[in-house]
Amino acid sequence: MTHPASSRRQFLKDTGKVAAASTLLAAAASTPVHAAENGTIQVAIVGCGGRGTGAVANALSVENGPLKLVAMADVFESRLASSYANLSTKFSSQVDVPQDRKFISFEGYKNAIDCLNPGDIVILTTPPAFRWVHFTYAIQKGVNVFMEKPVTVDGPATRKMLELGEQSVKRNLKVGVGLMCRHCEARGELFDRIRNGEIGDIHTLRAYRMAGPTGSAATGPKPEGKSELLYQISRFHGFLWASGGAYSDFLIHNIDECCWMKDAWPVEAKASGGRHYRGDMVDQNFDSYSVEYTFADGAKLFLNGRTIPGCHKEFASYAHGTKGSAVISAAAHTPSRCRIYKNQNMVKENITWAYPQPERNPYQLEWNDLVHAIKNDLPYNEVKRGAQASLVTSMGRMAAHTGQVVTYDDILNCEHEFAPTVNQLALDGPSPLQADSDGKYPVPLPGLNKDREY
């Protein structure tokens, strides 16, 4: 399993070891905005929603800059305008995006990337369905990349992303993937301590993300007269083609941090889940998911996800070993409040180690690490690990949606591509997912659809 080791120095040594296996994409002509003589790294953002705006803020706050935002692209003018207003207020000296470098279209990603020089950074924070399309062009142009998780939503996209990852390694591009918990210093030390045997051999992991409705996971009928395609993109958590649904977008962090501590990817998943009192909601999500992942040595990861109001809430991950137990994350992503217990009874008097507070923010640390690698030309490529984490997440989702046991190879080789024409979408064109005459979309039917999710 490819993972960062506990120290960031070791992480930088270990990343980027994917073997190059395909021919370099041909570079296209561009008209770049020229970088400043002081070594400023230029940044473009593709996808200007909340997560994208947050990523730019982290980029412009790196301790080892300077960085400057020079181009923005989205399919929603209002989101780009809001993001620009926010960023230009907070980082006035680092935002240089005149009107002619603001692009509103599905092809805007090309325009934004064309504003960069090789070695600059593009931030890819659209819904993940578009990730492989935008990454392909970034490789052609020789720019470094930060891309949000998940990086894929199905087997065919994962196979594409793994090959693109090899191409980016061959091109010596630095690529970060937004699984920021891997850059958390507390979790890094916990990983070291687990590897050193402090809780013995891990036999069980538990992960929970149980909350009320989150993001756009619960989506009602499309308003009359609105583009079906743009409606689905604006509510992307509700549609499997766009995001992998609430399961992939929200649960991937818990899954990934548990797999990191286990230092392995699970080989199969079996699961259950269901839609409950849904009213007029038309999204494709289940409201609850319960998944049993199995690793090659027989160890288990039990994952519970729920987005039902009025229920018990928990957002945490735990590891259990033959000599003790550990908290991987205590409440949300940061601070993690990692700690180790001498047995399975997680009470204060049994704590043998706890990471000192406060913790540095991993959303910022992942950007510090990426820019450090760029500035010092260090091997740094998180694509393979990001694709594997995304695939394992899809494996559990497919197990719940089909009611079948799904193996790692099953999901990797599954031919159900949710959006095969994603690279051909246009503002006035159709969506990959069409509603029926009642405005409803296909939903998973476990036991009836056994080899595809809808």
Q: Is the model's pLDDT at 25 over the cut of 70?
A: no
Let me know if residue 213 belongs to a domain.
Answer: yes
Residues 34, 176, single domain; the answer is: yes
How many structural domains does the chain have?
2
Assess whether 53 and 171 both reside in one domain: yes
Q: Same domain, yes or no, for 255 and 318?
A: yes
Domain contains 440 = no
Judge if 321 and 372 occupy the same domain.
no
Which residue type is seen at 78? S
Query: Do 412 and 334 belong to one domain?
Result: yes
> Could you report the per-residue pLDDT of 213-249, keeping only the tens digit for each?
899 999 999 999 999 999 999 999 999 999 999 999 9
CATH code for position 415: 3.30.360.10
Q: How many residues does the chain have?
A: 454
Q: Is the pLDDT of residue 21 over 70?
A: no
CATH number at residue 168: 3.40.50.720
What is the per-residue pLDDT for 213?
Answer: 87
Q: Is the pLDDT of residue 204 over 70?
A: yes
pLDDT of residue 60: 98
Domain membership of residue 349 (yes or no) is yes
Average the pLDDT over 352-357 and give the result.
98
Q: Which residues contact 391 (CB under 8 A, 6 or more apart)?
A: 152, 155, 158, 408, 411, 412
Residue 291, amino acid: V
Domain that holds residue 283: 184-358+392-424
Output the pTM of the full model.
0.91
Which among 381, 412, 440 is the end of a domain?
381
Decide if 438 is inside a domain: no
The confidence score (pLDDT) of residue 278 equals 86
Among candidate residues 315, 349, 381, the one where a domain is terminated: 381
Please indicate, yes or no, whether residues 133 and 282 belong to a single structural domain of this protein: no
Q: Is the peptide bond before 156 cis (omega within 30 degrees of 0)?
A: no
Does 281 share its domain with 336? yes
322/232 same-domain check: yes
What is the arithmetic mean of pLDDT over 244-265? Answer: 98
DSSP-assigned states of every residue in 423-440: GG--TTS--SS---TTS-
401 falls within a domain: yes
Residue 444 lies in a domain: no
CA dist 160 and 146 (Å) reads 17
Mean pLDDT, range 162-171, rounded to an integer: 98
**What pLDDT is stored for residue 14 in this prediction?**
38
189 and 258, same domain (yes or no): yes
Residue at 446 is within a domain: no
Is there a single domain that holds both residue 309 and residue 416? yes
Q: What single DSSP character describes residue 196?
A: T
Cα dist. 74→46, 79, 127, 235, 426 in Å?
6, 7, 11, 15, 12
Residue 32 clears pLDDT 70, i.e. is over it? no
pLDDT at 35 over 80: no
pLDDT averaged over every residue in the chain: 92
Answer whether residue 64 is part of any domain: yes
Neighbours of 445 (CB within 10 A): 14
